[in-house]
Chain A
Amino acid sequence: MSSFRFIHAADLHLGSPFQGLALKDADLAELFVEASRKAFSALVDEAVERKVDFFIVAGDVYDGDWKDNKIGLFFNREVARLDRAGIPVFLLKGNHDAESVITRTITLPKNVSEFPTSKPGTFRLENLKVALHGQGFAERSANENLALNYPRPEAGWFNIGVLHTSLTGREPHAPYAPCSVEDLRSRGYDYWALGHVHDFEIVAQDPLVVFPGNLQGRSIRETGAKGAVLVTVEDGRIAYERLITDSARFAELSIAVESDDTPAALLRHVEDALEPLVDVMEGRPLALRVRMTGKSRVRNQLLSKAEDFRDEVQAACHRGHADIWLEKLDLRLEPDDGVSHRSSGTLGLDGLLDMEGFPPELLEEAAARIAEIAARLPGGSGAGELPLGDDIDVLLVEARDLLVSRAAEAG
Chain B
Amino acid sequence: MRFDRLDILRYGALTDRQLVFRPDAKLHIVYGPNEAGKSSALSAISDLLFGFPERSAYGFLHDVGVLRIGAQLTARDGQELSFRRRKGRKNTLLGHSDAEENLADDALAPYLGNLSRDVFERAFGLNSDSLRAGGETMLKSGGEIGSLLFSAASGLTGLSSLRKSLDADADAIYSQRRSKDRSFYQALDSHDAARKAERDNELKAGDWKALLKEEAELGAEIHTLQQGREETKRALDRLRRQIALEPLLRELDRERALLVHHEALAGLPDGFDVKLAATLQAGRENAAALVASENELTRIREEIETIKVDDALLLAAPDILAAYGRSGVYLKAREDIARVRAEVDDFDQKLLQASRRLGFREFSDLERMQPADADLVRLRQLVEEGGELDREMRQLRKRIDEEANELRKLEADVPLSRIVDPKPLSDQLAALRPEIEELANLETLKIRAARARSDLDAASARLDPPVRDFGLLLSVSLPDMETLVHHRRLIEAARQENAQAVQKLAALKDDAEELQAQLSFLEGEGRIVSRDTIELARHERDGLIEALASTPSNGALQAARSSVQEADRLADMALADAERVSRHAQLTLQQRKIADAIVAAERAAREAAIAASDAVTEFEDLFHAVPVTPGAPERMIEWRRMVDGLMALSSTLNAAEDEYEILRSREEVLRPALAALADATGASTGILPPRSLAREISTRLEEITRQWSEGRTIERMRDTAGQTLKRLEADEADLRGKADLWRSGFAAAAASAGLAEDATIDMANAALDIWRTLPDLLSERQNRDRRVRGMARDMEAFEGEVATLSRSLAPDLGSIPADVAAGMLNDRVTQARAADNQRKALATALERNELAHARHVTEAVGLDAQRQKLANAAAVPPDQLAAVLADLVERKRLLASEELCRNRFIEQADGLDEEAVRAALVDFDRISAGVEIERLEAEDSRQVNRLADLRAGEADNLRRRQELEKGTGAERAVFEKLAAEHEAKELARRWVVLKLAGSLLSHSMETYRQQQADPVMTRAGEVFSDLTGGRFARLIQVYDDNDELQLAVERKTGEQVPLSGLSEGTGDQLYLALRLAFLQDYCARNEPAPLVLDDIFQTFDDERTAAGLRTLAESSGAFQPILFTHQMSLMDTAQRELGDDVDLVRLDRV
Distance (whole angstroms) from the CB of B219 to the closest CB of chain A: 15
* Contacts known (A29-B976, A395-B993); A353 close to B1004, Cβ less than 8 A: yes
In the bound complex, residues from chain B placing their C-beta under 8 Å from that of A359 are 1003
B714 contacts the other chain (CB 8 A): no
CB atoms of B203 and A70 under 8 A apart: yes
Query: What's the Cα separation between A348 and B1008 when bound, in Å?
Result: 12
B55 to chain A, nearest CB (A): 9
User: Contacts A22-B983, A379-B977, A389-B985 known; A342 to B51 CB distance under 8 Å?
Assistant: no
Residues on B with beta carbons closer than 8 Å to the beta carbon of A77: 965-966
A374 and B988 contact, Cβ closer than 8 Å, known pairs A106-B208, A337-B118 = yes
B975 touches A33 (CB 8 A): yes
Evaluate contact between B997 and A347: CB separation under 8 angstroms.
no
Contact yes or no, A67 B204, CB < 8 A: yes
Which of A207-215, A230-238, A403-411 lies on the face that meets chain B? A403-411
- B682 CB to closest chain A CB (Å) equals 108
Contact B971 A15, beta carbon cutoff 8 Å: yes
**Which of the 9-residue segments A109-117, A127-135, A361-369 touches chain B?**
A361-369
Measured between alpha carbons, how far is A339 from B203 in the docked complex, in Å?
Answer: 64
Judge if B805 is at the interface, Cβ distance under 8 Å. no
Quick check: B977 and A18 within 8 Å, CB to CB? no
Given contacts A70-B201, A348-B118, A378-B980, contact A403 B1001 (CB under 8 A): yes
Q: Which residues of A contact B209 (CB under 8 A)?
A: 105
A365 to B117 Cα, complex, angstroms: 34
Contacts of B997 in A (CB 8 A): 399-400, 402-403, 406
A74, A344, A353, A410: the one contacting B965 at CB < 8 Å is A74
Contact B1008 A346 (CB under 8 A): yes
Q: How close is A76's CB to chain B, nearest CB, in angstroms?
A: 7
Indicate with 1 or 0, residue by residue over B987-1025, a CB within 8 angstroms of chain A CB atoms.
011011111110111011101100010000000000000
Indicate if A279 sits at the interface (CB-CB under 8 A).
Answer: no
B312 at interface, CB cutoff 8 A: no
B1057 to chain A minimum Cβ distance, whole angstroms, is 28
Are A352 and B1004 interface neighbours, CB within 8 A?
A: yes
Most buried by B among A20, A344, A355, A390: A344
Instruction: Collect the chain B residues with CB atoms within 8 Å of residue A379's CB.
Output: 191, 977-978, 981
- B205 & A104 in contact (Cβ 8 Å cutoff): yes
Interface stretch of the complex, out of B149-157, B365-373, B531-539: B149-157
Q: Is the CB–CB distance between B965 and A73 below 8 Å?
A: yes
Q: Which residues of B contact A403 (CB under 8 A)?
A: 162, 166, 997, 1000-1001
Is residue A357 contacting chain B, with contact meaning CB distance below 8 A?
A: no
A148 within 8 A of B: no
A273 adjacent to chain B (CB < 8 Å):
no
Asked whether B89 lies within 8 Å of A260 as measured between CB atoms, the reply is: yes
Q: Does A385 contact B (CB under 8 A)?
A: no
Q: Please tell me if the beta carbons of A68 and B202 are within 8 angstroms of each other in the complex.
A: yes
A86 CB within 8 Å of chain B: no
B411 within 8 A of A: no
B166 adjacent to A406 (CB under 8 Å): yes
Q: Which residue of A lies closest to B999 (CB)?
A: A365
Q: Is B500 an interface residue (CB 8 A)?
A: no
Question: CB within 8 A of A344: which of B51, B119, B977, B980?
Answer: B119
Which chain B residues border A382 with CB–CB below 8 Å? 988
- Spot the interface stretch: B107-115, B298-306, B779-787, B1121-1129: B107-115
Given A348-B116, A348-B118, A395-B989, A105 contacting B205 (CB threshold 8 A): yes
Contact with B along A112-145 (1 / 0, CB 8 A): 0000000000000000000000000000000000
A51 CB to closest chain B CB (Å) equals: 25
Contact status A339-B89, CB under 8 Å = no
Q: Find chain A residues with CB under 8 A from B109 CB.
A: 340
Contact of B975 among A21, A68, A353 (CB under 8 A): A21
Chain B residue nearest in CB terms to A402: B997
Q: A21-B979, A33-B975, A362-B1003 are in contact. Are A73 and B964 (CB under 8 A)?
A: yes
Q: For residue A342, which residues in chain B have a CB less than 8 angstroms away from its CB?
A: 114
Bound: A20/B986 CA distance, A: 11
A373 within 8 A of B: yes
B982 contact set on A, CB distance < 8 A? 20-22
Q: Do A365 and B996 touch across chains, with their CB atoms under 8 A apart?
A: yes
Please determine whether B975 and A348 come into contact, CB atoms closer than 8 angstroms. no
Given contacts A68-B970, A344-B113, A347-B1082, contact A260 B996 (CB under 8 A): no
Contact among A337, A369, A399, A406 for B162, CB-based, below 8 A: A406
A70–B965 touching, CB < 8 Å: yes
In chain B, positions 667-702 with a C-beta closer than 8 Å to chain A are none
Please measure, in the bound complex, the distance between the C-alpha atom of A340 and the C-alpha atom of B113, giving whole angstroms. 10
A355→B1011 CA distance, assembly (Å): 13
Shortest A353–chain B CB gap in Å is 6
CA distance A68 to B967 in the complex (A): 12
Confirm or deny: B161 has a beta carbon within 8 angstroms of a beta carbon on chain A. yes
| Smallest CB gap from B961: residue in A | A73
A207 to chain B, nearest CB (A): 37
Shortest beta-carbon distance from A351 to chain B in Å: 7
User: Residue B117 contacts which of A102, A107, A337, A346 (CB distance < 8 angstroms)?
Assistant: A337
User: Quick check: is A186 within 8 A (CB to CB) of the other chain?
Assistant: no
Alpha-carbon distance between A73 and B976 when the two chains are bound, in angstroms: 22
**Could you tell me the distance in whole angstroms from the C-beta of A330 to the nearest C-beta in chain B?**
13
Contact residues of A between 55 and 102, Cβ < 8 Å to B: 67-71, 73-74, 76-77, 101-102
Residue of A nearest to B970 (CB): A68
8 A Cβ contacts from B71-121 to A: 89, 106, 109, 112-119
Taken together as a complex, chains A and B put the C-alpha atoms of A342 and B968 apart, in Å, by 59
Does A322 lie at the interface of the complex (its beta carbon under 8 Å from any beta carbon of B)? no
Minimum CB–CB distance from A97 to chain B (whole Å) comes to 15
Which A residues are CB-close (under 8 A) to B122? 348
Asked whether A345 lies within 8 Å of B984 as measured between CB atoms, the reply is no
Contact B89 A340, beta carbon cutoff 8 Å: no
The chain B residue sitting closest to A34, CB to CB, is B971
A407 touches B159 (CB 8 A): yes
**Residues of chain A lying within 8 A (CB to CB) of residue B165:** 406
The complex places the Cα of A68 from the Cα of B969 at a distance, in Å, of: 7
Task: Judge whether A70 and B964 touch: CB under 8 Å.
Answer: yes
- Docked pose: A177 CA to B1088 CA in angstroms: 71
Contact at A378–B984, with CB atoms within 8 Å? yes
Say how far B368's CB is from chain A's closest CB, in angstroms: 135
Q: A340-B109, A347-B153 are in contact. Are A373 and B988 (CB under 8 A)?
A: yes
What distance in Å separates the Cβ of B207 from its nearest Cβ neighbour in chain A? 8
Task: Report the minimal beta-carbon distance from B496 to chain A, rounded to whole angstroms.
Answer: 49
Residues of chain A in range 17-44 having any CB-CB distance to chain B below 8 Å:
17-23, 29-30, 32-34, 36-37
Partner of B208, one of A74, A105, A262, A366: A105
Q: Is B119's CB under 8 angstroms from A351's CB?
A: yes
Question: Closest chain B residue to A408 by CB distance?
Answer: B118
Q: Which of B191, B207, B997 has the most CB of A within 10 A?
A: B997
Given A352-B150, A353-B1004, A374-B988; A343-B114 close (CB under 8 Å): yes
Digit string of B144-182 for contact with A (CB within 8 Å is 1, else 0)?
A: 000000100110111101100110000000101000000
- Distance in Å from the Cβ of B109 to the closest Cβ of chain A? 7
Residues of A within 8 A of B15 (CB): none
Pair A362/B999 contact, Cβ less than 8 Å = yes
A277 sits at the interface (CB 8 A) = no
A76: chain B residues within 8 A (beta carbon): 965
Complex-state Cα separation, A400 to B964, whole angstroms: 53
The answer to whether B967 touches A396 (Cβ under 8 A) is: no
Closest chain-B Cβ to A84's Cβ sits at a distance in Å of 15
> A331: CB under 8 A from chain B?
no
15 new A-B contacts at CB < 8 Å, known A345-B114, A345-B1086, A400-B1000: A21-B979, A67-B202, A77-B966, A102-B205, A337-B116, A340-B106, A347-B115, A353-B1000, A369-B996, A376-B988, A377-B981, A400-B997, A403-B166, A407-B162, A410-B158
**A/B interface sample: 13 pairs, CB < 8 A:** A22-B986, A32-B975, A260-B54, A337-B116, A339-B50, A348-B119, A352-B1008, A377-B981, A378-B981, A388-B985, A395-B996, A403-B166, A410-B162
The 8 closest A-B CB pairs, nearest first, are A399-B996, A105-B205, A68-B970, A378-B191, A399-B997, A344-B114, A69-B203, A70-B969
